[in-house]
Structure 1
Amino acid sequence: MNAWVRSGQDGPGRTNEAVIGEGTAPGFTRGTIDEIIAGRFACRAFSDAPVPRHIIEQILGVARFAPSGANIQPWHVHVLAGTARDEVSAALLRAHEEARDQHVSEYRYYASELPEPYLDRRQQFGRLFYGSLGIAQTDTEARSRQTARNYAFFGAPVGLIVTIDRRLEIGSWLDLGMFIQNVMLAAAGCGLQSCPQETFAKYHRILRSLLSIPAEQMVVCGISIGHANNAATRRLMPRAAVNEFASFRGFEN
């Protein structure tokens, strides 16, 4: 969905008249939400610049307006910074180093056998991502070291652990996904970057103990939030063209 703003400047040296065209409503121009969505990327290199609590509260205050069926709002967030973040990070890094095979997520993220085109996209991700880091896909130790960086929140000053009530159904997971997207877009609107990280779900037993997560809550993912450093890799992954995933009917007339 596009957001529209009334007439004015649309960036340095660009007036509304310069950008009005196909895809815009008369008298309106594309709002910054389009640029925020297109500019968001999974940041894996953060600076140590602090992010104050009120900014995170502002981000969550916006994200809470995500739609949810019957307005049940099926999300819970544990916000970590400072020593709390460091304690969680140290525990997860230790588990990853010493006992990673003893931990498994409570839900399956990928299908056991991915059909095409999804398998090809996943394999392309591996080639592009690890290739950008100079890591051979067969180098399991180097890949493990890269995975470990997740548990240090990639150096971000703030980490979120997101949970959902396990008694809810798949529709509530759709709602949760919209909330998580809202968190990342609201962060980008504050000049921050983020990285959603499913891998935190693997260590739910450790997180449950450290964060007093009740039994009915399932750990879904983590999200790192902070200022991207100058070495942060911008989006590497290509996106399918609209005509590859959308079918249009009834527009001929």
Structure 2
Amino acid sequence: MTLSVEKSAFLDRVADAPEEARLLADLMSKRFSCRAFHPDPVPRKTLEAILNIAQLSASWCNSQAWEVIVTEGAATDRFRKALLESVSRPEGASLQTDFPRPAQYVGRYLERRRETGWQLYEAVGIANGDREGSARQTMNNFHLFGAPHAMVLTSNRDLGVYGAVDTGGYVAGLMLAAKSMGVDTIAQAAIAMQSECVRKFFDIPEDRMIVCGLSVGYGIADHPANSFRTRRDSIEETTRWVSE
């Protein structure tokens, strides 16, 4: 089995590629899931630029299934409070989602998931078996990691999995666009797992399905939760070539 490697290692593999490709690879290697933000808001003009870039994302039949809700100012704090109250209630712990959760993680998928989890726990000083510590870290999702903005991504219900896939592609483009503007993000399934609360808070109609949320802002560079980077398997692990 091929071991995972640092994302920066992939830059060496495209060293002879055209400049635009190398710039894209560099940008992708620098993007990370930010788990601690400064409270300073991102200017509306910058957010609009990010959204304009992301709107160029590809979609099936150009359906553009996604819609985006963006919070700022007092609305972010109200949303943060609503999420924390929701997850603190007994029924909130049951995780209501518009899309089915993964049935299970097995094999390499489970290994990758565990590796990421232990990287985070080690970075923030949570010992193996410290359930209270891991629970506190999980709750940070609903605090939006202190971010000044939240985004909620929804997809058209009638488009089903195709709309969800297209929205996922949009999310990837959105996060890269943000990084290109010096803005950090983290995509959060945890927000979508409080779909009843999210739907009620934003008055989201039933023909929209909640795909995920994002916390958005300027990351605290020296925060322990932002000190590690996840790794990637080489393409030898993930690619199958067929020549005949």
- Displacement of 1:33 after TM fit? 2.0
Unaligned runs of 5+ in 1: 1-18
Larger Rg: 1
**C-alpha contact 1:135 1:142 (8 A) present in aligned 2:** yes
Aligned residue in 2 for 1:162: 153
Residues 7-47 of structure 1 show CA distances to partners (whole Å, capped at 9, x for unaligned) of xxxxxxxxxxxx9x85324xx56552221111100000111
Query: Once superposed, which parts of structure 1, at least 4 consecutive aligned residues long, lie more than 4 Å away?
Result: 28-31
State the one-letter code of the partner of 1:24: A
Going from structure 1 to structure 2, the CA distance change for 1:108 and 1:129 (only over 3 Å counts) comes to farther
Does 1:38 find its partner at 2:65?
Answer: no
Equivalent position to 2:103, from 97, 111, 122: 111
**C-alpha contact 1:43 1:234 (8 A) present in aligned 2:** no
* More relative contact order, 1 or 2 (CA 8 Å, 6+ apart): 2
State the one-letter code of the partner of 1:246: T
Residues 48-106 of structure 1 show CA distances to partners (whole Å, capped at 9, x for unaligned) of 22211121111111101110111100001110011111111001111222333244222
State the one-letter code of the partner of 2:16: G
- Displacement of 1:247 after TM fit? 3.0
Stretch deviating more after TM superposition (151-160 or 183-192): 151-160
Equivalent position to 1:246, from 226, 239, 242: 239
State the one-letter code of the partner of 2:132: E
Within-5 A mapping of 1:104-253: 104-112=96-104, 114-232=105-223, 233-248=226-241
* Whole-Å separation in 2 of the counterparts to 1:22 and 1:225: 31
* Whole-Å separation in 2 of the counterparts to 1:110 and 1:23: 38
- Displacement of 1:200 after TM fit? 0.4
State the one-letter code of the partner of 2:183: L
Unaligned runs of 5+ in 2: 1-11
SS at match of 1:81: coil
State the one-letter code of the partner of 1:247: R
Going from structure 1 to structure 2, the CA distance change for 1:24 and 1:83 (only over 3 Å counts) comes to same
* Whole-Å separation in 2 of the counterparts to 1:151 and 1:142: 15
Tell me the TM-score normalised to structure 1 length: 0.83
* Whole-Å separation in 2 of the counterparts to 1:187 and 1:67: 17
Percent identical: 30
SS at match of 1:163: strand
**C-alpha contact 1:81 1:159 (8 A) present in aligned 2:** yes
SS at match of 1:78: strand
Going from structure 1 to structure 2, the CA distance change for 1:109 and 1:23 (only over 3 Å counts) comes to farther
SS at match of 2:187: strand
Aligned residue in 2 for 1:72: 63
SS at match of 1:150: coil
RMSD, aligned CA: 2.0
Going from structure 1 to structure 2, the CA distance change for 1:58 and 1:93 (only over 3 Å counts) comes to same
Within-5 A mapping of 1:92-111: 92-99=83-90, 100-111=92-103
Residues 161-199 of structure 1 show CA distances to partners (whole Å, capped at 9, x for unaligned) of 111122213222221111001110000010111100010
* Whole-Å separation in 1 of the counterparts to 2:20 and 2:82: 48
Higher share of residues assigned helix: 2
Aligned residue in 1 for 2:74: 83
Stretch deviating more after TM superposition (103-112 or 212-221): 103-112
* Whole-Å separation in 2 of the counterparts to 1:244 and 1:102: 36
Aligned residues: 228
